[in-house]
Structure 1
């Protein structure tokens, strides 16, 4: 329970024994035991206001502390709901300084964007001051990078004794905090960490509710229900008569805090004797904090009313100031000398209205008490208190993020200084908490006059450094951006449309930019027709179709057609766009150059595509970063095409620069496409860890933006990277989620998701279903949805599958298709086509197959496609062995095995080892000799468990029971075990598993 101030029993506040909840205590104990073993745990306490959630968190803290675990606690607050990461900062910030040396150096500047204790000036200012704004402090920090840094921080904090992180009242948490928790649930800290949170179900955000409901793997939700009648009697004790206990139970509904408030009312001598409990009425069901039951509100108001005038003023000022306040701030808000305020504070502590917190600060004993104290003050007085506190914080040099809370509650219409503060705060938190930034920009716009004052510009881009008046149009543009990156796409669309509405009809340059932005958002909302109609309508309004604003909109049309794989349509638009113009704004020349490459490549006009790629490289190399920042939505098309063409060095050089620019300028809405292009390039180059990291970041950014298009892109690359690394279970999961995330767009990204899933299914032994999925991905041969490079990879895979099945005619057909797609000027494509031909010739002409495989390996190795070169080496080894050329076979197979091991391609490495044994090469199969040093034979840990149990004579049903799997899942794992061990039966598995571990060779 929240605990009662029971002076009659002499226990004092916070020391009342816990009543009931024995089942909850058992869950707490089990969760702490699970955490002690290294398993991340989540506990969520859900209940109405005053139900006892905080008391249960306190009980958990006591048990964890007794077990010598580090316990950190913080809470969100009703009146500071827009403070980014407030609960987390409250819990952790005071404990950071001693852990700074243990943090990874690259994590400190990221974390400093959130935690004041880690800012460069924190040590110099001391606990009571504020660090001045530091222009050298970390600027824009990508949210995903910050999330990883926080996970690292939790791992460091937990490294010695384990960590219990208590986060109270998360129904008031800001969007950024919930987003971070969502990340931690999907990527748990790799340490002994337990996160316990509390929230009110009726007030919780949908995202937090979804997060809690989906966290069953890591923990549980604990409903905190009212006390029973018997528990209420035990809570109140025998000093109160039975009739009074029953009356209090009826009036409180068993809610511990309400019960305590009503009991306190009696102790202060307020009305409500034996004959009057019915006057209080029954406690209604709680749906919102503002619906505090009248009896409880009256009780709390009477408790406050019994205070002296000074103490009441301090309580009201403290309620205005902050959830955790310093005496000096309360004195400012109350307009009292500090000594007088301290005397009032002493009375508040003595009456248990507030309680001491850390570092000389104080807190109300419960958020409901603060709520009533805030509401007890007159509205005009509250406005003045917020104003006084805002001015005081400004004088102390507090950052705008601390002042904004008070400014938005006290500023008047047209207050330019207040607008500037809100805009400054929005810009400071925008990269880490765009939802909060949007809130503060909206507040600034409400204060900003519709028509600017005489003599001021109406078309600025926000506040300038010299204090120039802020422009409504500039703020609207900023608001669109933060709404978009925070996932509030519908709101962003409405803001963008308002921006277009406000711009003069003849202001074509800015209207084109606004329409382009609006069209991008419409696309992300899957309103493709509306996006095209918007662009075309604006184009028709423009008098000069060749002017820079019209070209900007035509560029948008080209990108739209490319996404729909309308190559002819895209080329038709490009044919009417010059390479440059005298009135072009920065970025337009680079955008046009970037878009010319893909239509030529997709149309198999390879010499022309190479010329365009080389020209685009020259343009981008010469362009300043500022120009590229203006066209980030078009640059991914160039990078993706460079990857498709096997121009990996150019692609990665451009991608790394563009990603840096996107992060520096906060344009997260475009970064997904660049990260997925980087993931594809790294995957094809055999840099699998890099590919996995880039794809994961793309997926996380898309989740934060709630972009299904970006999510499909990211998951597709995660699936393909996991499959090449040998994690077939994960490849299937990523592929399935990618297909589910596609809303049926009928565009290229949906087809790519089906291709990735088909590849994973084939690798997992689901060959027939995988082939069907691959064919669905390819679509109509006359109008394929996949790009030529992926179509070529698909044809090579189908040639292999057909050859493996003994369908030589079918294999030759696929090899011919591959040969028709490949162009001799592209070594990457030539190598894949040769590999497809080698598959087709494998059974009929081993010498031809070996020659084609060697040529494929050379071509693929020349462009850096190491894993595909290794596959070609392995096929060359197999066919050399079939032709009786043992030495060439051994050399090729050794090269393949070394390549796969170096790249971390475990399944392929296991297959190469198997082929080496077949060729008479003795290789190690001892445990720990896999490429990751985890399990033998290239088996995944789960596959190895299944193989061991098979060797022990267990049936599939018995294995399923021992490993808590379905029989079907066991069968799937077993089929992979057969493939990796090169056997066709359970007896073969047992033979290999029991083989002498000394089977070694050179």
Structure 2
């Protein structure tokens, strides 16, 4: 089911009509990974067959389309004219026309297509001319419609052949349609640039909520609750491939499209989507991955300058990195600067070593602290690291705990203080004071734990007055509400 692509198909239909009358063109379908480029390319091929299969309005019957398709892949870039072979080799099985199509200057094309697939590169120039003549011969009987998926991965010789073919299509009954992935470094190769400058460029937009709802009904077989549809749209940003992967995962896990399951959708990261994102990121230059890791560490609403400083990038490289990430739909295009969805965050996190994550979180905490960031925001990064904290970091955590207590979040405050305990010497007066401070926070939601922490602090406190002060800090805790008895502590104090 192809949704929200009516405008693109209208453009393709007009290009096909013109090609049928001898005015061919190049159609480029461009967009980020998973935006439905391949599905649209397939639909254009089917559209060509349908539009040219009916009776002609003129006296002479109009020629029918001959659809040829090729799939370029990174592993085949060293195979000279490999994509061209994919397009034209199936033509040899088209019947009685083959002899005519491979006659004259195209005679060498037949030998090339039937010959050794490992033919030397020096024979490529002769083959290019013959294969061009073969396509021209086909136009006398049919309308060649050449479809190339992921043209940016095509071999150099095929790209040169396509470039020469495109230069001739305006005077021929030929339509060439290719897909190009935005943000891929391979799409910026010098050999690809002439193909990117097309007369017709189609940019499939993300799917809207109504289309997401339609896909839910088609894939899951039952109408979805509005809350579930909204969660799927938010999780995938309307990316068709991401949406299909998510719905497959829902089917696998038995997640029903009801409102109660909406929160679970945001936590699902389908393995197929994870692999696709990982491959996509591996193809990027190192500075792009550095920016992505900074965004992963900084989280929501990251400051642009902090992202650059954390990634170690100058403004030019930062702009280039964010531009690439946006074209790949890995970063939101709104005013806020953050990763597009949870799957991107998890893939980047898995590709970052624990030592590197520790370093980035410590550096992020230092940058935010230097810029006067809120203590709790700085503390979030300190909680995420397992490295030893210095005295300044411990002080930030204690200030963050005070802020959490004031806003009525004692559990959060306790998390900050427990983190500081890991880096305080075990038999120190500082540890005793921190244990008492932690007990004051815990008394409202974990009185037994608070008493235990005061008991641990007792041997480290300097005398009965300090111990009495620590016990008073537990007020008001009813002795019966704790697992440990306060009687002995009170009597000794």
TM-score, scaled relative to structure 1: 0.24
Q: Which has the higher contact order (CA 8 A, sep 6+)?
A: 2
TM-score, scaled relative to structure 2: 0.47
